[in-house]
Structure 1
Amino acid sequence: MSGEASTALYQKRFQWVIDYIYDHLDQPLDLNKLAEVACMSPYHWHRIYHATYGETLASTVKRLRLHKAAGKLANSDSAVAEIAKTSGYTSLQSFSRAFSETYGMPPAKYRKQGSHTQFHINDRCASGTTRSTSMHEVNIKQVEAFEVISFPHTGPYINIGHAFEKLFGWLAVKGLFNPEMKVLGVYYDDPSSVPENELRSAACVTLCGSNDIDLDENMALATIQGGEYAVLRFKGPYSDMHKAYAWLYGEWFPKSGREPGNQPAFEDYLNNPREVAPNDLLTDIYLALK
């Protein structure tokens, strides 16, 4: 088999496994089953996956399950026991223990005190006026246009990690990963007006070196438009960021004297969820200004 054919085969195997994990997070996912999906022996597949992604398969599954659970805790009223079940945990106790180890507090407490709670929209007083419950620093930055490799995602924004996992696997197999690359998420639609399963977004990385890259068929070169942006730094799990957007649009814009521009919002991910705890993740949210 030629080197090019071998690279393409490994790329497909990574995509098969990532698709299977995302589709079966609520079911048992052991090394043997994922190796079967990849059509390789468990021993060899696990070593290849670990070398490529920088974490074990077990760590990937745990990270994605808890990300899913954190999103439901922050954004739904589902019972904690039901969230545990749909996140692939066989008991509430094992779920609570894993969640506490990763997010620093048990699920019920996280629902009430997680990072999403720092961005409460104004409370309305009995008089009909509003009062601010949170203040956050927003910087205005001038951004020069730049190009990115874009991998599209359609569906709930919280699941854009599916596209990122595939993109990172592609970069690793192609030998294109560079630690100087910026990792960005671009979000094209308003989730309050577009059905969740139709939301359009893209997992992106900045180009390093030549633009002459043989992209996969579902990838493209895209341009992040230049101009003025309002930038808010968010610290915490990705699943909590929708509250920051609500605060920006509901509180900051009305008081800023500025209006949002026509370019899509994007997020600049400043550290790696494989290397830091969810509560220590740093993200700069960029909203274009007129």
Structure 2
Amino acid sequence: MNGQTAWSLYENRLRRVSAYIHDHLDEELDMERLADIACMSSYHWHRIYRAIYGETLAATVKRLRLHRAAGDIVRTGLDISEIAKRSGYPNLQSFNRIFKSVYGMPPARYRKEGSHTVFEPSISGKATAMFDVTLKTIEPIELIGVPHTGSYMQISKAFETLFGTLYARGLASPGMRMIGVYFDDPDIVPAEKLRSVACVSADETIAAEPPFVRQSLSGGEYAVLRHKGPYADMHKAYQWLYAEWLPVSGRQLRDGLMFEEYLNNPRDTAPTGLLTDIYMPLV
């Protein structure tokens, strides 16, 4: 077996495990089963996974389930006990304890007082939040990425494939910018049809071989809002930009893509400390 074939098999194993985790979050995820999917012994596979992704398989499952749970709490009226069950927790008490340890407050309180609530309209009908929006002129950005179709809350699946492949091919670099490109309005397009690409900055020296595609972002002026907090809150920040900032800014939108740049890593940063720059293209 030559080196290229060996790397290809390794990439495919990473991809299979990552896809299985994302597609079966509602189920009991047995670590031995995941090792079987990788076609390796549990003893070796768990160490390989941690070396590539920087966290254990169990930590990945916990993080993704809580991320989805936070989205359900913010975006739906589902009962907290139902969200706990859907997230794989045996009882509400254990879910409350784990959620609080990560998000800083129990889920019921988070629904009422979480960081997303600063974007909610007040009695006067205006949002209470005020954010600094910076105007930036940027050069065009060249990217490679992995396409994703489906809920934007699930783009992490594409990012897992992106970074797993980059590390398996020896292409990962600390200087790469982590960027999400979003093509559709989630308030108009059904969740299952939303299109996005999980990207990193990369020049032409990195080949856009599958599963990679090449993506470009136009240069020019952008309004940039820095959002601090869980990714589940991001849609509220977009609503604020469009409904509150844009009408009073005196600026007009340019026909270009909005994108997000993720400034720290959700694997080693608490959800409340996540920093994201949202870029809105301006004329």
Alpha carbons of 1:132 and 1:98: their partners in 2 closer, same or farther (altered >3 Å)?
closer
The equivalent of 1:260 in structure 2 is 253
| CA distance in 1: counterparts of 2:78 and 2:104, whole angstroms | 21
The equivalent of 1:70 in structure 2 is 70
The equivalent of 1:7 in structure 2 is 7
> Structure 1 residue 228 and structure 2 residue 221: aligned?
yes
The equivalent of 2:142 in structure 1 is 147
| CA distance in 1: counterparts of 2:200 and 2:106, whole angstroms | 34
Unaligned 5+ residue runs, structure 2?
Answer: none
String of CA shifts for 1:235-262, please: whole Å, max 9, x gaps. Answer: 0011111100011011111111112211
Choose which of 180, 197, 218 in structure 2 pairs with 1:185. Answer: 180
String of CA shifts for 1:8-32, please: whole Å, max 9, x gaps. Answer: 0010011111111011111111210
The equivalent of 1:43 in structure 2 is 43
Q: 1:145, 1:226 within 8 Å by CA — same for their partners in 2?
A: yes
The equivalent of 1:20 in structure 2 is 20
For residues 36-115 of structure 1, what are the structure 2 equivalents within 5 Å? Answer: 36-115=36-115
String of CA shifts for 1:212-268, please: whole Å, max 9, x gaps. Answer: 333332321211111110000000011111100011011111111112211111001
String of CA shifts for 1:148-201, please: whole Å, max 9, x gaps. Answer: 112111111111101000001000101111111100001111111111111111
The equivalent of 2:155 in structure 1 is 160
| CA distance in 2: counterparts of 1:103 and 1:278, whole angstroms | 6
| CA distance in 1: counterparts of 2:272 and 2:257, whole angstroms | 26
The equivalent of 1:195 in structure 2 is 190
TM-score, normalised by the number of residues in structure 2: 0.97
> Which amino acid is the alignment partner of residue 97 of structure 2?
R
Q: 1:26, 1:89 within 8 Å by CA — same for their partners in 2?
A: no
SS in 2 for 1:241: helix
Q: 2:127, 2:240 within 8 Å by CA — same for their partners in 1?
A: no
SS in 1 for 2:216: strand
SS in 1 for 2:130: coil
The equivalent of 2:209 in structure 1 is 216
> Which amino acid is the alignment partner of residue 152 of structure 1?
P
Alpha carbons of 1:255 and 1:52: their partners in 2 closer, same or farther (altered >3 Å)?
same
SS in 2 for 1:184: strand
| CA distance in 2: counterparts of 1:10 and 1:112, whole angstroms | 44
> Structure 1 residue 204 and structure 2 residue 199: aligned?
yes
| CA distance in 2: counterparts of 1:13 and 1:87, whole angstroms | 25
Q: CA RMSD in A?
A: 1.2
Q: Give percent identity, aligned residues only.
A: 55
| CA distance in 1: counterparts of 2:208 and 2:133, whole angstroms | 36
> Which amino acid is the alignment partner of residue 33 of structure 2?
K
SS in 2 for 1:20: helix
SS in 1 for 2:22: helix
Choose which of 241, 246, 261 in structure 2 pairs with 1:248. Answer: 241
Choose which of 282, 285, 288 in structure 1 pairs with 2:278. Answer: 285
Moved over 3 A (4+): none
Alpha carbons of 1:27 and 1:150: their partners in 2 closer, same or farther (altered >3 Å)?
same
SS in 1 for 2:189: coil
Alpha carbons of 1:41 and 1:246: their partners in 2 closer, same or farther (altered >3 Å)?
same
The equivalent of 2:129 in structure 1 is 134
SS in 2 for 1:99: helix
Q: 2:52, 2:164 within 8 Å by CA — same for their partners in 1?
A: yes
